[in-house]
């Protein structure tokens, strides 16, 4: 479950806005924070889901992130993606998700398997060999893009 899936059902008068940046989604909602004497009847808060899935809050009446989270009955950590979830980036500063990395590795492993089968039959063409080098390069790039260092 993403932070947006967790928070949005707990908010009132939720209305999706056109997105700002690519990969982001935004919703306007009535703020559950303390700076609205008679309740936030005309929605003054905006939630932004980043491309990494983190949910950010802005309230025009200056309620804080913590006050909005508390008003939803949730914890600050609930606004962030947890390890192993679909949109979590593998390492800080690298915009690569686990799903994207595994998908690439699975695809390239299939290419390697096909090339190995052709090689065993003695029918590996120059085109196949070039594709095999490309697979090696893509696997290496995926590994490097995770930001994970070899031990």
Helix (H, G, I), strand (E, B) or coil at 138: helix
Are the CB atoms for 76 and 68 separated by under 8 Å? no
Shortest CB 3 distance to Zn ion, Å: 18
Shortest CB 30 distance to Zn ion, Å: 9
| Rounded distance between C-alpha atoms, residue 145 and residue 94, angstroms | 6
Shortest CB 73 distance to Zn ion, Å: 16
Distances (CA, A) of 110 to 9, 100, 131: 41, 16, 12
User: Would you say 31 or 55 has its CB closer to Zn ion?
Assistant: 31
Q: What DSSP string describes 92-107?
A: TTEEEEHHHHHHHHHH
Residue 59 found at the interface with Zn ion (CB under 5 A): yes
Figure out which of the listed residues 61, 109, 116, 144 binds Zn ion, where binding follows CB under 5 A: 61
Are the CB atoms for 31 and 66 separated by under 8 Å? no
Which of the residues 16 through 45 are near Zn ion (CB under 5 A)? 31, 33, 35
Which segment (62-70, 82-90, 124-132, 141-149) binds Zn ion by CB under 5 A?
62-70
Are the CB atoms for 56 and 3 separated by under 8 Å? no
User: Would you say 59 or 69 has its CB closer to Zn ion?
Assistant: 59
Which segment (53-61, 69-77, 80-88, 141-149) binds Zn ion by CB under 5 A?
53-61
Residue 89 found at the interface with Zn ion (CB under 5 A): no
| Rounded distance between C-alpha atoms, residue 32 and residue 59, angstroms | 10
User: Would you say 63 or 115 has its CB closer to Zn ion?
Assistant: 63
The residues binding Zn ion (CB under 5 A) are 31, 33, 35, 59, 61, 63
């Amino acid at each position: 479950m993403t932070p947006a899936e967790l928070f949005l059902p707990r908010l009132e008068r939720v209305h999706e806005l056109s997105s700002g940046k690519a990969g982001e989604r935004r919703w306007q909602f009535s703020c559950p924070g303390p700076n609205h004497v008679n309740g936030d009847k005309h929605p003054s808060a905006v939630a932004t889901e980043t491309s990494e899935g983190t949910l950010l809050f802005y309230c025009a009446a200056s309620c804080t992130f913590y006050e909005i989270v508390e008003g939803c009955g949730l914890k600050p950590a609930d606004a962030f993606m947890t390890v192993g979830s679909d949109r979590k980036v593998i390492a800080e500063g690298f915009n690569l998700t686990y799903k994207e990395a595994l998908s690439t590795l699975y695809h390239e492993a299939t290419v390697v398997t096909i090339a190995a089968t052709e090689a065993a039959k003695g029918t590996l063409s120059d085109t196949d060999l070039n594709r095999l080098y490309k697979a090696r390069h893509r696997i290496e790039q995926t590994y490097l893009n995770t930001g994970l260092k070899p031990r």
